[in-house]
Amino acid sequence: MNCKQATRLLSERQERTLSRKEQMALKIHIMVCRGCRNFGDQMTALRSFSKSYSKARASTDHNAGDKNEP
C-alpha cells in the first residue's frame, strides 16, 4: 500500500466500513508512515470543524455584530 491508496481509505472510512483486509493493510502503513498518520487525524479534525462550523460562525459573528452599530 502506498500513501495515495492509504489516504483514499482514510477518507472513505468516514462513509463505509473498511474490509478486514483493508483495515489491516492500512494499519500497517500507518504504523510506518507519519504523513498518513497525520492525514488520518486531519480527516477526523475536518469532520469536527464542519460540525462546529455553523455554531461557531453564529456565535463569533454574533459577538462581532454586537460591537457594530449602536
Partner 1 sequence: MNYAPTSAQQGPDNPTSASELLADSQFLQELRRQMVKFARLQLQDDDQAEDVVQEALAGAMKNVGSFARKSALKTWVFSILKYKIVDALRYRQRIIVTSELADDEQREQQFMDSLFKSNGHWHSAERPSSWNGPQGGVQSEHFWRVFDACLNGLPEKQARVFMMREFVELESEEICEQLALTTSNLHVILYRARMRLRECLENNWFDVPREGP
Torsions phi, psi for 40 (to 5 deg):
-60, -45
Summarize as ranges the residues that interact with partner 1 (CB under 8 A). Answer: 2-5, 7-8, 11-12, 14-16, 34-36, 38-39, 41-43, 45-47, 49-62, 64-65, 69
| Cβ-based nearer residue to partner 1, 21 or 65 | 65
| Cβ-based nearer residue to partner 1, 21 or 70 | 70
Task: Tally helices (H) and strands (E) across the chain.
Answer: 3, 0
| Cβ-based nearer residue to partner 1, 20 or 48 | 48
C-alpha cell at 47: 469532520
Query: Shortest CA distance to 7 belongs to which of 48, 20, 33?
Result: 33
